[in-house]
Amino acid sequence: MKTIHIFDPALCCSTGVCGTEVDQALVNAAADLDWARQQGARIERYNLAQQPLAFAGNAVVKAFLERSGQDALPLVLVDGEMALAGRYPTRAELARWAGISALPVQAVGSDCCSGGKCC
């Protein structure tokens, strides 16, 4: 099983609910990552504000920060290799990296998408 490492920008917390405005992308990312974990994926998250040593101690991440700056975060490594930067992964991407085969059918029966036609 591959390990997914996510290097977050400086956050108060992983969903961003502690910020002055809650970032939708962070809320979704927290839910998606939690979903992937439930499917057995190995995921570790590092917060620049709380674990800066993890950034400094990884040559790929350190070089990325020096080259592109912290605004280019988050950075996603899969087994140590750069896989994605600048946004959080989708469920499909997480599933591919982690080798999760059975993607659940997206939100069938929810209010938004009833009748099999998505809005």
Partner 1 sequence: MDFLEQPPRFLFFTGKGGVGKTSLACATAVRLADSGRRVLLVSTDPASNVGQVFDTQIGNRLVTIDAVPGLTALEIDPEAAAGAYRERIVGPVRGVLPEDVVRGIEEQLSGACTTEIAAFDEFTGLLTDDALIAGFDHIVFDTAPTGHTIRLLQLPGAWSGFLESNDNGASCLGPLAGLEKQRQQYRAAVAALADPLRTRLVLVARAQASTLREVARTHDELAAIGLQRQYLVINGVLPAAEAAGDALAAAIVAREARALAALPGAVAALPRTQVPLKPFNLVGLPALRALLDDNAGALSTTPAAPANAPGALPALATLVDELATAGHGLVMLMGKGGVGKTTLAAAVAVELARRGLPVHLTTSDPAAHLTETLEGSLQQLTVSRIDPHAETERYRAEVLTTKGKDLDAHGRALLEEDLRSPCTEEIAVFQAFSRIIREAGRKFVVMDTAPTGHTLLLLDATGAYHREMARHMDKSGITHYTTPMMQLQDPAQTRVLIVTLAETTPVLEAARLQDDLRRAGIEPWAWVINNSLAAASPTSPLLMRRAAAEWAQIDAVRNLHAQRLALVPLQAEEPVGIARLQALAAGQRHS
Contact flag: residue 59 with partner 1 (CB under 8 A):
no
**In the complex, least distance from residue 77 CB atom to partner 1, rounded to whole angstroms:** 17
Q: Which of 1, 40, 56, 108 binds partner 1 (CB under 8 A)?
A: 56
Helix (H) or strand (E) holding 66: helix 59-68
Question: 22: helix, coil or strand?
Answer: coil
Closest to partner 1 by CB, 109 vs 115, is: 109
12 binds partner 1 (CB under 8 A): yes
Q: Which amino acid is at 49?
A: A
Within 8 A by CB and 6+ apart from 84, the residues are: 75, 76, 93
Q: What angle do CA 35, 36, 38 make, to 5 degrees?
A: 65
Q: Which residues bind partner 1 (CB under 8 A)?
A: 9-15, 17-20, 22, 24, 27-28, 30-35, 37-38, 45, 47-53, 55-56, 62, 65-66, 69-70, 107, 112
